[in-house]
Amino acid sequence: MTSVRDRRVDEVAEAIGSRRLIWFGIRGEDGRMLEALPQFAASYSITAPLVASGLDESLALENLSKHRVELDTYDIDFDHDPTVDEFRQHLLAAMSQPSVVVSYRPSEFISMLGFATRHICWNPGMFKDRQRAFEHKPWVETEIESVGVRTLGWEYLPRERRLRLALKPTGDGLVLRPNRTSGGVGISLVQTRDEAEHAWKDDQSQLMGVAKYLADAVPLNVNGCVFRDGSVRLHPASVQLIGIPSLTSHPFGYCGNDFSALRHLAAGQMEALDQMARQVGGWLASQGYIGAFGADFLVDASGLYFAEVNARMQGSTRMAADLAARTGHLDLLLEHVAAVIGLRPSEDLSLSYWADALPPSAQVIHHNLSETPVPAVSNRDLDLPRGDRATLLAGPGVVVEPGAVSYVVEVRRAVTSTGFNLLDQ
């Protein structure tokens, strides 16, 4: 029996036609679901090259530079190392053939190559300068709040007014966040003026978002996709792993996802999460956004809060897509391609449905906690329980920079109850 995913594969393949499909991502492995498309021909990435048969070329920048960078602070648009030029030549050659390029997120790097090859290469994703607006958190949250979505009530303070922070030594403290950040980098919990001053000096931001710290809140993440007609489709959600000291050195650093722990939400909370995620996607659509997106939320005894939007694919996308494809449903990679090339939306599944349909699964992301680069680890170096699988390992000869991902462990069970802890194994 033909699944809804099989039918979608046929629709996307027909729309692509005789063009070669090229993946460009921060991780090559994020593009694995594109193997379902017969035109998938090449993968280019910053880290973790995609190992797949049938590709003409699969190249990661880290295999040229021999360095795995911290992706939450790295931007290829500002990297002037000679290896970037060599990497660019490979991608330019691939895009100089009849092709369509799909990217994890827009960048000036890929936009400029797209314009240079526009007569032969189709680059249907958003232009970087247009997408960049959605990364400005004060603007996004102010707009989201104006359409009725409950936010954390961020106050935005310039450096000159940082002494106005209402810090109480006996309270839970305040969260400070720069106006642009990724993966939780740069977010601080402060309880004194000295800590606040240090956080501002470390970041050098001209503007900080300030919100009350919710000590008992659970961090949630939702994947979704916006289509050209304004429709929003939701994909698997998870409890995020945040700031676990054995996994990341950042207090609010992203370090994994538990797709099983979401089942502990009350029915009303799951419905509220579904509704709020669709509101966020609807706002993105109203602003001209198209393609995959993610949204972060917090839930505590008082209810659900919107935390931030990710106008791109996410660290959770790879596993969410894999789990969805195993059920025969549409995965986010395939739907992102469908959306940006102009196909209409297909099945519309609720977050409750996804939570019930997916097998127990989680990913635990291990970062280099050292202050110096370390050699890449191999599967032989890891003593994993039976059934667990290590992925995204760096290749031989590659050193892992401080804060960069060393490897990811995928498991078929729940790993957290709060998002800030790991269950005993």
The pTM score is: 0.93
Per DSSP, the three-state class of 281 is: helix
- Give the C-alpha separation, 315 to 26, whole Å: 10
Report yes or no: 305 and 214 within 8 Å, Cβ to Cβ: yes
Same fold, 153-212 and 218-411: no
Q: Among residues 303, 306, 384, 369, which one has the least CA distance to residue 141?
A: 306
- DSSP H/E element including 324: helix 317-326
Per run of 10 residues, the mean pLDDT along the chain (length 425 residues) is: 88 97 96 97 97 93 96 89 96 97 94 96 93 90 92 84 64 77 72 76 71 90 97 97 94 93 85 96 96 95 92 95 94 97 96 93 96 92 90 94 96 93 79
pLDDT at 47: 97
Q: What letters, b where the CB count within 10 A reaches 16 and e where it falls short, cover 163-174?
A: eebeeeeeeebb
Per DSSP, the three-state class of 314 is: coil
Domain ranges of the chain: 4-133, 153-212, 218-411
Domain 153-212 is found in CATH 3.30.365.10: no
Q: Among residues 135, 152, 355, 383, which one has the least CA distance to residue 257?
A: 355
pLDDT at 146: 92
pLDDT at 262: 86
pLDDT at 86: 97
pLDDT at 108: 93
Domain 218-411 is found in CATH 3.40.720.10: no
Report yes or no: 120 and 98 within 8 Å, Cβ to Cβ: yes
Instruction: Give every CB contact of residue 204 below 8 A, 6+ residues apart in sequence.
Output: none
pLDDT at 204: 62
Q: Which residue has 């001053």 as its token pair?
A: 197
pLDDT at 169: 55
pLDDT at 195: 76
pLDDT at 351: 95
pLDDT at 69: 96
